[in-house]
Amino acid sequence: MDFLKDSADDSDITVNFLKTIKTIMMEITEQDKAWMREAIRLADESVKNGGGPFGAVVVKDGELIAGSANSVTINNDPTAHAEVNAIRSACRKLNTFDLTGCVIYTSCEPCPMCLGAIYWAHISKIYYGNTRKDARDIDFADDFIYEELERPLTKRSVPILPLLRDEAIHTFRLWKEKTDKTAY
């Protein structure tokens, strides 16, 4: 469990968290490993085809729902990370935006964008292969994003400025008053 050591070195992970991870690790099945190997295979295939070194699969009730690789450079889309691509595909296949009960296996610890997408999709569990440190070691460093999120808006490297809230708030009022909305 070298990744636990790496993670503990990189942050202030508590002993209780590490115990929880150890318990979860003991519950990993051969099928979980097979799904992770599929995510890794997709990542390998992506590298061979000119994409980024990341793959992900979404599984529900033991069935593969979707699998995808990173296609940022192939599609000229900075949001086309493996996890986001797999989530989009799974949502289309299941005809829902709510992936409750699904598990995602991703070849690398999710970046902040992918983690946000996973939470918005209500995915129930995440398994990952490589760590953030492993990604940083091959020049995929997303630590700066985590750091940016901790900064006040006025201290971020990309200016983020409020504009026309008094007009924009109207849309939120419409949403709040809407009786037939689909909450998410």
Q: For the chain, which residues score pLDDT lower than 70?
A: 1-13, 24
Contact 90, 58 (CB under 8 A): yes
Q: What are phi and psi of 58, to 5 degrees?
A: -115, 130
What crossing angle do the helices spanning 143-150 and 112-120 adopt, rounded to 10°?
70
Predicted pLDDT at 58: 98
Gap between the Cα atoms of 48 and 32, Å rounded: 25
Gap between the Cα atoms of 84 and 52, Å rounded: 13
Closest Cα to residue 3, out of 20, 16, 18, 14? 18
Predicted pLDDT at 109: 97
State the DSSP code for 164. Answer: -
Predicted pLDDT at 26: 75
Gap between the Cα atoms of 1 and 28, Å rounded: 13
- Which residue out of 63, 83, 147, 177 is catalytically annotated? 83
Contact 101, 65 (CB under 8 A): no
Does residue 83 carry a catalytic annotation? Answer: yes
Q: 3-class DSSP state for residue 146?
A: helix
pTM of the model: 0.85
Task: Tell me the CA distances in angstroms from 5 to 12, 30, 138, one per residue in order.
Answer: 12, 23, 19
